[in-house]
Amino acid sequence: MEQQELLLRAVEIFDDLKIPYMVTGSFAVNFYGIPRTTHDVDFVVQLRSADANRLAQEFPADFYADPEMIRQAVEQQFMFNIIDPTSGLKIDFWILKRDAYDPERFRRRRAQVAFGRTISMPSPEDVILSKLLWYKEAQTDKHLNDARGVWALQKDSMDRAYLRLWAAKLGVENWLEQLETS
């Protein structure tokens, strides 16, 4: 199974199970910015513990999908993954947090057409803010480069007031200023 197939299969499962989601990570970066290679598929999902069995059962039997791991991730507001053992590809599922920012970016998600299907995606502003947050945490250049790529292609249509407001709240305003002046 290829990454695109895996992403589309997960979207189909979310739609069938009525699980709210949005694609994040490098697929969102590639949609709005400068494409780069990726090794996994990332989603933010709004799950309940009761969804664990149904979600795990929807993936092929040979996939590693542990309902108990899913329940724990929901309870701890962390992440879990489901792995295709044949290809080694994985889906990272990030549970929607109950902080100030995550529900806001989830509320702002948009229906976009990608790979011939309507997919729930974050706004480009939220892709940038999320990448700046990851850079703040990990100091890994790929996150800053991802934010730069989205900025370069989307800056003319950005909601800059929203970007500045949340950059200040999230403590990433210095990196946003670097993007704005580059």
CB 12 within 8 A of CB 21: no
Q: What are phi and psi of 83, to 5 degrees?
A: -120, 135
Q: Answer with the one of 107, 122, 137 that is the final residue of a domain.
A: 122
Mark whether 107 and 131 lie in a shared domain: no
Mean pLDDT, the chain cut into blocks of 10 residues (182 residues total): 88 96 95 88 95 92 92 94 92 94 97 96 98 93 94 96 98 95 86
Alpha helices in the chain (DSSP H): 3-17, 25-32, 52-58, 67-76, 101-107, 124-138, 141-154, 160-170, 173-181
Same domain, 109 and 132: no
Kindly calculate the radius of gyration of the chain based on its CA atoms and give it in whole angstroms.
Answer: 16
Residue 104 sits in the same domain as residue 162: no
pTM here? Answer: 0.92
The total number of structural domains in the chain stands at 2
**What's the confidence (pLDDT) of residue 1?**
62
How far is the CA of 86 from the CAs of 9, 50, 64, 75, 105, in angstroms?
Answer: 16, 28, 11, 30, 34
Let me know the angle formed at the C-alpha of 112 by 132 and 115, rounded to the nearest 5 degrees. Answer: 105
Which residues span the domain enclosing 89? 1-122
Q: What is the pLDDT of residue 171?
A: 97
